[in-house]
Amino acid sequence: MAAQLGSAELLLLAWAVAGAITLCGVLTNAEIAGLLPLTGGQYVFFRTMYGDFPAYLYGWAMVSVVQTGSIASIAYVFAEHMQYFVPLPRLPEGMERSLALYLPGIGTFYPLDNLGVKLLSIATIGVLTVANIRGVHIGGGIQIVLTLAKVGAILVLVALGLSTLAHGWHLPQGSQTPASSSMGWGWLSSFAVALAGAFWAYDGWNNVTYVAGEIRAAERMVPRALVLGMIGVTVIYLLVNLSYIAALPIEVMARSQLVGVEAAQAVLGTGGAAFIAIAVMLSTLGTTNGTILSSARLFYAMADRGSLPSPFRYVHPRYHTPAGALVLQGLWASILVLSGTFDTLTDMLIVVSWGFYALGAAGIVILRRKLPDAPRPWRVPGYPVIPFLFVMFATAFVVLSLIEDITAYARGELPFMRTVLGLGLVAVGIPLYFLLRYRPSAAPPTTTPSP
């Protein structure tokens, strides 16, 4: 983002604008979450708004790639940073390349490549899955501890970075990026691209809705968690970037592949890299656990409605947790770790995710007409302006991303059209929907797992 914008002020503005736009979506979803505080979150919202089939397509995208791919990729980052302290074994290069996986239109992947990191990633997924099977209180407790630890580490980095402000503000020197050299279309294009990076960082704000059925007073607590969580994360991101800007000139940030490491080294010396490695491990471990905890509830809710095979709806008889969904989610995420395709797959589904965000926000109008007298503990302020702004932006983001992706492919800059293949991956699940829907007998929905 620093390279795209070339300006400290524009960098902070991009994070603030992305946070404000995302907050519009959060405020809109908060009303829906208070109205429908059920396990499954967004899947339940879509089912109530649009019916079974659109809800299934959303859930299929989450179960096949988006959420499971996120678990795989974030656990992989955790394992990679463990190598800073403990070297992980690798096979000889010839053996690493002895097993190849080819996916048409995507490329060739090597499951045995960097095997030590992959095995630690799978072990991490396994341990956290078992912890969450043993109870939502255990999984939630782990989440609280890791969240407090990672936020604490971030705030230490912020405090150290901001302490350098006494030595002067780092302004860009002679940057020639489109953003800083022109206020025309070049600036707008660079700013839009930078926004996409910030949106990816803010993504995941809706995950708490998946576990609503296991939260006491969910109709009040989930909307509060959505809004306060989003505001808190936006403030943290702004403070982190302000500390980076205080510690490093914008030109250094623009060239860096590990801005956090360089900023920490600037204020802590050689110990900075170790500090960042620990902070990243805490952050990724917490995010992996949170995604495992929440996503399994979505998959359980889908199976409970007959949209996924029955093993996903198995509830542990002692711990009353969706053990079937947790185990199958962990197995698929582990397969994605071994395949090494998780980053490619999740990149292809970004536009799909934003398409669903637009549909979800637009659905608030449907719910107000369909359920006019239903109790709404939270109402989106500025209705219908706030939902309209978010829907318009999300739609524009999807359309522009499709155009840019197709154009880049035509110029030979991309090996495949990521967004088109992403839509194709969603379409792959359509036969499964009709197979499950028209099978001879389907078990009735079960009760929600108890808190």
Instruction: Tell me: pLDDT of 443 over 80.
Output: no
Work out whether the CA dihedral 77, 79, 82, 84 comes out positive or negative.
negative
Instruction: Tell me: pLDDT of 437 over 90.
Output: no
* CA dist., res. 163 & res. 266, Å (int): 11
* CA dist., res. 213 & res. 163, Å (int): 44
Mean pLDDT value across residues 352-370: 92
* CA dist., res. 340 & res. 432, Å (int): 25
Mean pLDDT value across residues 395-412: 81
Q: Give me the percent of the chain exceeding a pLDDT of 70.
A: 88
- Of 69-78, 95-104, 122-131, 334-343, the range with the highest mean pLDDT is 122-131
Number of domains in the chain: 1
Instruction: Tell me: pLDDT of 209 over 70.
Output: yes
Q: What is the pLDDT of residue 128?
A: 96
Residue 451 falls inside a structural domain: no
109: phi then psi, degrees, rounded to nearest 5:
-130, 155
178: phi then psi, degrees, rounded to nearest 5:
-55, -35
* CA dist., res. 289 & res. 124, Å (int): 9
* CA dist., res. 11 & res. 191, Å (int): 9
Instruction: Tell me: pLDDT of 446 over 70.
Output: no
Q: What is the pLDDT of residue 197?
A: 81
Q: How confident is residue 141, by pLDDT bands cut at 50, 70 and 90? A: confident
Residue 443 falls inside a structural domain: no
CB of 213 closer than 8 Å to CB of 37: yes
Considering only residues 161 and 54, tell me which one the structure prediction assigns the higher pLDDT: 54
* CA dist., res. 244 & res. 281, Å (int): 19
Considering only residues 445 and 40, tell me which one the structure prediction assigns the higher pLDDT: 40
Mean pLDDT value across residues 131-147: 88
Helix ranges (DSSP H) in 305-322: none
CATH number at residue 13: 1.20.1740.10
Mean pLDDT value across residues 430-444: 74
Q: What is the pLDDT of residue 171?
A: 44
Provide the residue range defining the domain that includes 116: 2-437
Q: Give me the percent of the chain exceeding a pLDDT of 90.
A: 41
First to last CA, the chain: 41
- Global model pTM greater than 0.75: yes
Considering only residues 420 and 38, tell me which one the structure prediction assigns the higher pLDDT: 38
Q: For residue 78, give Cα distances in angstroms to 75, 143, 233.
A: 5, 15, 20
Give me 176's structure tokens. Answer: 């020639």
Considering only residues 143 and 323, tell me which one the structure prediction assigns the higher pLDDT: 323
Residue 312 falls inside a structural domain: yes
Between β-strands 107-109 and 101-103, what pairing exists: parallel, antiparallel or unpaired?
antiparallel
Q: How confident is residue 104, by pLDDT bands cut at 50, 70 and 90? A: low
Q: What is the pLDDT of residue 176?
A: 46
CA proximity to 18, closest of 239, 193, 244, 268 = 193
CB of 171 closer than 8 Å to CB of 7: no
Q: What is the pLDDT of residues 172-194, one digit of tens each?
A: 444 444 444 445 555 676 787 78
Instruction: Tell me: pLDDT of 297 over 80.
Output: yes
Residues contacting 142, CB < 8 A, separation 6+: 128, 131, 286, 289
Q: What is the pLDDT of residue 449?
A: 56
Q: What is the pLDDT of residue 441?
A: 52
* CA dist., res. 182 & res. 186, Å (int): 6
Q: How confident is residue 311, by pLDDT bands cut at 50, 70 and 90? A: very high
Instruction: Tell me: pLDDT of 414 over 80.
Output: no
Residue 446 falls inside a structural domain: no
CB of 5 closer than 8 Å to CB of 190: yes
438: phi then psi, degrees, rounded to nearest 5:
-110, 20
Mean pLDDT value across residues 30-57: 93
Residues contacting 281, CB < 8 A, separation 6+: 78, 81, 82
Residue 445 falls inside a structural domain: no
Considering only residues 214 and 202, tell me which one the structure prediction assigns the higher pLDDT: 202
CA proximity to 41, closest of 287, 360, 426, 407 = 360
Task: Out of 12-26, 217-231, 394-408, pick the least confident.
Answer: 394-408
Q: What is the pLDDT of residues 418-429, one digit of tens each?
A: 777 778 888 889
Q: Is 52 helix (H, G, I), strand (E, B) or coil?
A: helix
Instruction: Tell me: pLDDT of 416 over 70.
Output: no
Question: What integer best gives the mean pLDDT of the chain?
Answer: 85
CB of 154 closer than 8 Å to CB of 279: yes
DSSP letter for 65, please. Answer: I
